[in-house]
Chain A
Amino acid sequence: MRRVLVFAGVIVVALLLESTVLASVRLGGARPDLLVIAVVAVAMTAGPTSAACFGFSAGLVADLLFARPVGVAALVYTCLGFAVGVGRVYLVGSRTWVHLLLTGAASLAAVWSAGLVLRVLDLSSWAFVARTGPLVALYNLLLAPVVYPLVRRLVADTAPERVYRWQGG
């Protein structure tokens, strides 16, 4: 229950910051995507199931708040959370720069995946998608040193997710 509240809090705060303060702070026309950093942090701390649920909820609320098309960010963040969560066994305990690199790569993947879906729906252009991906990744890399450890600490303070349970006998 505590974890659900923490997830909800992270989503609400990230969305409020994105739509107010950060909306006017652009890097080459691109906005940062705090939710991607949060999804990666949750995946690295709590595993694939929690990260997929967190990604789905965060994406859905973001889509509903930022106008259509609804569901695209939910789809992308779900897959991203799951993928990072599954792959975390290879990265746990790694150096800081590995985590940073992962956040940057995840940001690039998230923008390009969402762009691909929107391009298929004829709502974006290849040129824009290609250009925005690296910009968002760079922007997120600048914010990650603050956001990433914060979300990790908040999530780690809640009860750890147990994939396997000892049943006795």
Chain B
Amino acid sequence: MYQRSHNPRAVVVVLVLAAVVVITVDFRQSPGGPVERLQEVTGAVFGPVQRGLATVLRPVGNAVGAVGELGGLRSENRRLQAEVQRLRGAERANQELAGQNQQLRATLRMAARCGCKTVGATVVASSGSNFQWSVTIDAGTRQGIARDMAVINADGLVGRVVAANPDYATVLLVVDPTSGVAAHVSRGGTAGLVRGRGSDGLSFEPLHAGAPVGLGDLILTQGYAGGVFPNGLPIGLVEEVGPPRAGLVRTVTVRPFADASALDQVAVVVASPPPPPAPGGGVRTDLGGR
């Protein structure tokens, strides 16, 4: 006599239901919810190994990464050969330290720009998913880092902390589609919302249709009481202004300053000065937890 030991259909139905429940819980949870705590635990487990691997394998990854960039390989090769010749004399470790020093100094200048108190960190891993733009940094609650703190680098705004365990934190990048940042145009002060569009960069949505936004305009963060981001941090430059659609605001494409694919030294804003009073009583545009 034969007997079924597993019913594959029942197993898959249970697992699919479990996945749907997890998605629902994740979407509806408040800060510090069960899924977020699980994320912190996962980060704490993987963080140290990722850090070790990143240190050992970063040169390998960079080298192989160059191979992936197809097109113009011959001229690239000649240029790289010349560069290798030029760099060969320099001591490797010294150069790396000098580079880090430079990045940290520039990051500090960025922090000084908004009068923020920051904690430095290094990116040890980035999201392996094609749909999420996040990185893991080697600083956590022990260094005073908490959820919803802004993260910057030498170029400008990088993202915000979404999960922190004692030694590591996960940073959701501004280009992630779930990210929303209250912002304004440097010239004219038009307020709006910057949304992530993944590898397509960012979009800026002015709060009022017809507000003046031009090509090459600088987009800065808009600070407000209770908000995540300090005021006046550079986010990016307006690259394209879409045609106005009837009754709808225009779509403005913004090229972010911080290159999401080449993050290394960053700083987490642990304290920032109170934001200036917003014109017109201020507009709360933060997307909150999501």
Contacts and interface: CB of A to CB of B under 8 A. Distances in A.
Interface string B164-202: 000000101000111000000000000000000111100
Interface string A109-152: 00100110010011111001000100010000000000000000
A121 to B, nearest CB: 8
Interface string B1-45: 111111010011001101111111111000000010011001100
B20 A24 contact: no
What's the dominant secondary structure at chain A's contact region? helix
Contact of A67 (B2, B3, B68, B132): B132
Interface stretch (B47-55, B111-119, B214-222, B242-250): B47-55
B254 interface: no
A52 B2 contact: no
A139 B198 CA distance: 19
A71 B22 contact: yes
Interface stretch (B59-67, B85-93, B140-148, B150-158): B59-67
B129 A66 contact: yes
Interface residues of A, number: 67
Given A86-B8, A167-B2, A52 B15 contact: yes
Contacts of A114: 131
A167 B3 contact: yes
A70 B39 contact: yes
Contacts of A72: 19, 23, 131
A169 B31 CA distance: 58
Contacts of B25: 71
B130 interface: yes
A24 B136 CA distance: 14
A95 interface: no
Contacts of A162: 5
Contact of A21 (B49, B53, B198): B53
A66 B50 CA distance: 12
B38 A74 contact: no
A123 B177 CA distance: 5
Nearest to B133: A67
B15 A56 contact: yes
Interface in A52-75: 52-53, 55-56, 59-75
B131 A163 contact: no
A163 B199 CA distance: 44
B35 A70 contact: yes
Contact of A26 (B6, B18, B68): B68
A29 B199 contact: yes
A62 B24 CA distance: 17
A82 B65 contact: no
Interface of B: 1-6, 8, 11-12, 15-16, 18-27, 35, 38-39, 42-43, 46, 49-50, 53-54, 57-58, 60-62, 64-65, 67-68, 125-132, 134, 136, 162-163, 170, 172, 176-178, 197-200, 261, 290
